[in-house]
Amino acid sequence: MTQISIPAEVPAQVGTVKAAAPAPVDAYSGAWRSVLDQPLGPRAELDRMRETAPFYDTTVYEIDGRRVRIGDHWLTDFASCNYLGLDLDREVIAAVPQYLDRWGTHPSWSRMIASPEPYAAIEAALADLLGAQDALLLPTITHIQLSVLPALVAQGSLFVEVHAHQTAHDGAVMTAARGGTVARFREDRLDRLERRLRKAPFPRLICVDGVHSMTGNAPPLAELLQVARAHDALLYIDDAHGFGVVGERTPHETSPYGARGNGIVRHLGQSYDNVILVGGFSKAYSSLLAFVACPTPVKNYLKSAAGSYIFSGPSPVASLATGLVGLQINERRGDELRARLYALTRRLLDGVHSLGLRTLNTSGFPIIEIPLADADDAEALGHFLYERGVLAGVVPYPIVPRENVGMRVQVTAANTEAEIDDLLTVLTDAHARYPLALADGP
Q: Which is nearer to ligand PLP, 88 or 290 (CB)?
A: 290
Separation of alpha carbons 36 and 442, rounded Å: 41
Stretch of 92-100, 236-244, 334-342, 349-357 lying at the interface with ligand PLP (CB under 6 A): 236-244
Stretch of 31-39, 112-120, 234-242, 250-258 lying at the interface with ligand PLP (CB under 6 A): 234-242
Reported as type and span, the H/E element at residue 135 is: strand 134-138
Stretch of 176-184, 237-245, 303-311, 405-413 lying at the interface with ligand PLP (CB under 6 A): 237-245
Pick from 70, 132, 141, 276 the residue near ligand PLP by CB under 6 A.
141
Neighbours of 387 (CB within 10 A): 13
Considering the complex, what minimum distance in angstroms separates the CB of residue 308 from ligand PLP? Answer: 11
Separation of alpha carbons 98 and 53, rounded Å: 41
Q: Which is nearer to ligand PLP, 141 or 372 (CB)?
A: 141
Stretch of 60-68, 138-146, 376-384, 426-434 lying at the interface with ligand PLP (CB under 6 A): 138-146
Task: Verify binding: residue 213, ligand PLP, rule CB under 6 A.
Answer: yes
Pairing label, strands 204-209, 233-238: parallel
Separation of alpha carbons 394 and 43, rounded Å: 14
Pick from 77, 89, 161, 238 the residue near ligand PLP by CB under 6 A.
238
Pick from 87, 123, 161, 209 the residue near ligand PLP by CB under 6 A.
209
Pick from 140, 215, 322, 404 the residue near ligand PLP by CB under 6 A.
140
User: Could you please report the per-residue DSSP string of 353-397?
Assistant: HHTTB--S--S--SEEEEEBSSGGGHHHHHHHHHHTTEE-EEE-T
Considering the complex, what minimum distance in angstroms separates the CB of residue 210 from ligand PLP? Answer: 8
Stretch of 68-76, 238-246, 292-300, 312-320 lying at the interface with ligand PLP (CB under 6 A): 238-246
Separation of alpha carbons 379 and 376, rounded Å: 7
Separation of alpha carbons 197 and 275, rounded Å: 17
Footprint of ligand PLP on 268-327 (CB under 6 A): 280, 282, 290
Q: Which is nearer to ligand PLP, 167 or 312 (CB)?
A: 167
Considering the complex, what minimum distance in angstroms separates the CB of residue 181 from ligand PLP? Answer: 23
Q: Which is nearer to ligand PLP, 409 or 426 (CB)?
A: 409
Considering the complex, what minimum distance in angstroms separates the CB of residue 290 from ligand PLP? Answer: 5
Q: 290 with 277: CB under 8 angstroms?
A: no
Task: Verify binding: residue 240, ligand PLP, rule CB under 6 A.
Answer: yes
Q: Which residues contact 166 (CB under 8 A, 6 or more apart)?
A: none
HEC sequence for 210-262: CCCCCCCCCCCHHHHHHHHHHCCEEEEEECCCCCCCCCECCCCCCCCCCECCC
Pick from 115, 147, 157, 167 the residue near ligand PLP by CB under 6 A.
167
Q: Which residues contact 440 (CB under 8 A, 6 or more apart)?
A: 356
Interhelix angle 378-387/417-433, rounded to 10 degrees, is: 140
Considering the complex, what minimum distance in angstroms separates the CB of residue 6 from ligand PLP? Answer: 22
Q: Which residues of this protein are in contact with ligand PLP, per CB under 6 A?
A: 140-142, 165, 167, 209, 213, 238, 240-241, 280, 282, 290
